[in-house]
A = this chain, B = another copy of it.
Amino acid sequence: MTASTALLLADLLGVAVFAASGASAAVAKRLDLFGVTFVGFVAALGGGILRDLVIGETPPLAFADWRYAATAAVSSAAVFWLHPQFNRLRTTVLVLDAAGLALFTVTGTIVALAAGVPAVGACLVGMLAGIGGGLGRDLLTGEIPAVLRREIYAVAALVGAVAVVLLDRTGLAGPGPLVTAAVVIFAVRLVALRRRWSAPVASDRSGPSR
């Protein structure tokens, strides 16, 4: 297996996991088969589509390579039919989701740098590639995006994206260091889940909110 095949497989695994998370949220909202598949598609491919639109890569990879859409569709449909079993895999899903976040953030940052986006912008693009799908999933299902209010999620992505840019700027962005960056995102996210870490919330204010 070559490096690029390995990367494609890893990428498609990320797509499958994110599609499953989106489909799972859509099943909970009682959407029909199409709705479940569509939300799964957005959750899996939304981050990458956002990334490609921002760097001017059209059509985005999700439309240019059929294997992405096919993976998202199969994964979403599987959740639709198997969701009771899927719910029992909750911990597995959270772990795989953390892996997907790590992968998409690192590849998103690399793609942005390769497209000539400056350092700060590349960090933002990488983070959006990681969290964009979850944002789309929550907007479609009528929720305030979970990524905006729960635990260390986007922060893990942002830290990883910064690490990738620093590696790139110091000429160290070989496969080893990049995998390390992905592992760091993955680990931070898992530890945050385990310990229920959250970013701080503004101190309470008197009276009802708003």
Are B58 and A56 touching (Cβ within 8 A)? yes
CB distance from A30 to the nearest CB of B (A): 6
One complex includes copies of this chain to the number of 3
In the complex, A190 has a CB within 8 A of chain B = no
Which residues of chain A have a CB within 8 Å of any CB of chain B?
Answer: 26-36, 38-39, 49, 53-56, 58-60, 62-66, 69-70, 80-81, 83-84, 112, 115-122, 124-125, 135, 139-145, 147-150, 154-155, 158, 198-202, 205, 209-210
Are B55 and A58 touching (Cβ within 8 A)? yes
Are A144 and B141 touching (Cβ within 8 A)? yes
Are A29 and B209 touching (Cβ within 8 A)? yes
Instruction: Select the residue from A30, A81, A135 with max chain B CB neighbours within 10 A.
Output: A30
Q: Enumerate chain B residues within 8 angstroms of A59, measured Cβ to Cβ.
A: 54-56, 112, 115-117, 121, 125
